[in-house]
Structure 1
């Protein structure tokens, strides 16, 4: 069943869009990521212009994240205080990111920037997470006791705040910095930033994995909603028809993903997420290197 997307100006299969939304929603519930790192590149592959994919993909992230957070709130695995600190940084970061996005869009360089950002960030984060997860998985199989969190430079910074749900007493500066960085990525790459934030919260801030997922999703909701609003009002690249199809699938998938994620070990969740990140990175990098089907194309206004 083909439907026409008025802003993207292409026709796509409705059931394919619903399926994409469901799959990404499941990932959101399982891993604590918004799923933008996956759904935005998949929209590229369907022929959706990158500018529209980035702006519209954030709508689906909001819907699936809300669905997943409600399930985590019932299990009391959301650190609301940490989420608010991350959110403050995220809102400032997304505002700055949209400003940069619109400048590059006017210059006609936004498509290349988005794809290069995906290859760079997904490659680095995926590789680091995969290596660490393999090490943790081998240690757990050998029965080695988990290492205690070590006090590092993060714990020596000022402006300390007690995060009771996470069992932490650390400076508010690192969470603000993580939130700011994720906000920029949300605006430029159309992602919730979970693939950056989840590893940062685990390895940099020292948060327990069971709390990280719900807290990450809580911050993602508001940052991506704010980013979507900015894109809709400044660049007019949000396709409501595309967004609705993705949202319906995402809300359903998130509930199933949360149940599956609660039944898996933390090490298994991290290694699966790493494999997904590396797979998407490889696909985008391959498309950048291969000879395009259409070598020349004419466009107006840098689009």
Structure 2
């Protein structure tokens, strides 16, 4: 049980790191006229397409997701505004909870009728678009170990290729099998996170857990990191020279394997991989959090970009109208969510994290019977499978929708209070923040 809890804490830390990147990237976009202009130009074809449809022109070119595209991703006003809603909810979760809300995007799109492989490709493209437009890489260049990042990308690109090939192979074999595979992956991961998140929340309510303080723990090389760094398999890479005199060394083979795992997960699930990079680097490889931050941002841009374009977009598995709608919605959601952390107790934020993860798990778990029935693996009626799936969808959207309504209610009722303060989010449960990074830098010097 202790190993499971430790792994859960690592996953949460990684998800928090990704959320901070998401917030900073969104802020960069909203505060730049140039980037907002680019966003408007990307949205303009979609808006014009909606006007064309409203005026009676029922066709759209393939790059907008016309009916003659590879996938049945034709444009409707409802689908576009639904994608904005999904983006807003994901952004609210990211900003308010301080953990990546991307784990609800693919389940939400699949619940709305989008095929799994299309949901994955679209989510990756949305992450890539945000990474390019809101890139904060130039601010973190001093924290990047070029040798670590380059070696890691060798593995992540290979993993992304394998993940994309596997998803496309299963889809060509049977679209229902493809959906079942993606759903099963989400069920296992979200089920694990849900179990420990709920246990963590209830223990915190009883005063047994409280706010965990682990200052400095991430900077001390953990046991696994020490073991891997003690294995000398050429070529050896040197890193963290600014943290430890002489730096630390690790075999390139471990970086390639780590990248392979992250790229594989990113390409299969449709996530940036950031929630895995942080725990793997800090806890598995013994890399300092300062170096990990820059490398994580670096890999998100390239892993998501490579996966979305070469493995999905080129094969017609990206729904561009959805991607742009989600991007627009998430920009709004993450800003609002980050502001209300100033007026919401930390214990409530932990509760909402558990609730959001559990809602995603229930949604995908309830979707499995219909898919298993469609493949002939279980003997239930088609109507029964559809009913179970509908129950899961209703529970999911009611939960996420109620969460969104609550966040906006808190935001508007505390608007005057929020205006008087600087919009700097305060995630209680994380010791991974700017002040700690400054401490690390001072210790390294």
TM-score (normalised: structure 2): 0.53
Distance 1:184 1:144 in 2: 30
CA distance in structure 2 between the aligned counterparts of 1:84 and 1:254, rounded to whole angstroms? 30
Counterparts of residues 154-193 of structure 1 (less than 5 Å): 154-158=228-232, 159-164=236-241, 169-171=248-250, 172-193=252-273
Structure 2: distance between partners of 1:142 and 1:103:
44
Structure 1: give runs of 5+ residues left out of the alignment.
Answer: 296-303
The aligned residue for residue 204 of structure 1 is 284
Q: 18-27 vs 233-242, which deviates more?
A: 18-27
Matches within 5 A, 1:241-260: 241-253=321-333
Q: Secondary structure at the match of 1:293?
A: helix
Q: Secondary structure at the match of 2:300?
A: helix
Deviation at 1:223, TM superposition (A): 0.9
Q: Distance in 1 between matches of 2:282 and 2:341?
A: 16
| Whole-Å separation in 2 of the counterparts to 1:78 and 1:140 | 35
When Rg is computed on C-alpha atoms for both structures, the one with the higher figure is 2
Q: Could you say which residue in structure 2 is the equivalent of 1:227?
A: 307
The match for 1:124 is 192
Maintained 8 Å contact 1:166/1:207: no
Alpha-carbon displacement from aligned partner over 1:136-182 (angstroms, at most 9, x marks no partner): 99677587876544343222233232134676724243332222112
Structure 2 Cα separation of the partners of residues 234 and 186 of structure 1: 17
**Unaligned regions of 5+ residues in structure 2, if any?**
1-46, 54-64, 67-71, 371-383, 389-445
Answer yes or no: is the 8 Å Cα contact 1:37–1:195 preserved in 2.
no
How far 1:230 moved relative to its partner?
Answer: 1.9
CA displacement at 1:113 relative to structure 2: 0.7
Q: Which residue of 1 aligns with 2:83?
A: 17
Going from structure 1 to structure 2, the CA distance change for 1:24 and 1:173 (only over 3 Å counts) comes to farther
* RMSD value, Cα: 4.4
Larger relative contact order, structure 1 or 2 (CA cutoff 8 Å, min sep 6) = 1
Q: Give the secondary structure class of the aligned counterpart of 2:385.
A: coil
CA contact (8 A) 1:94 1:184 kept: yes
Deviations 1:12-57 (A, max 9, x none): 3433322322343465678575x54221111112221212111111
Superposition deviation, residue 241 in structure 1 = 1.7
Contact 2:143/2:290, CA 8 A, preserved across alignment? no
Which sits farther off after the overlay, 267-276 or 193-202? 267-276
Give the conservation status (yes or no) of the 8 Å contact 1:97–1:184: yes
Mean Cα deviation higher: 238-247 or 124-133: 124-133
Question: If the length of structure 1 is used for normalisation, what is the TM-score?
Answer: 0.73
Contact (CA 8 Å) 2:221, 2:283: kept in 1 or not? no
Cross-structure match for 1:90: 156
Distance 2:129 2:117 in 1: 20
Aligned-pair distance for 1:212? 4.6
The aligned runs of 1:1-303 (5 Å cut-off) are 6=66, 7-9=72-74, 11=76, 12-25=78-91, 33=100, 35-66=101-132, 69-70=135-136, 74=139, 76=140, 79-81=143-145, 82-108=148-174, 109-124=177-192, 127=195, 147=217, 148-152=220-224, 153-158=227-232, 159-164=236-241, 169-171=248-250, 172-207=252-287, 212=292, 215-232=295-312, 234-253=314-333, 276-289=356-369, 291-293=384-386
Change (3 A) 1:281 1:245: same
Contact preservation (8 Å) 2:118, 2:317: yes
| TM-fit CA distance, 1:102 | 1.7
The CA deviation at 1:272 is: 6.8
Report the CA distance between 1:114 and its aligned residue: 0.7
Aligned residues: 292
Q: Give the 3 Å change call, closer, same or farther, for CA 146–187 of structure 1 in structure 2.
A: closer
Q: Deviations over 1:49-68 (max 9, x none)?
A: 21211111111111334466
SS state at 2:192 partner: helix
Q: 1:95 to 1:110 in 2, by over 3 A?
A: same
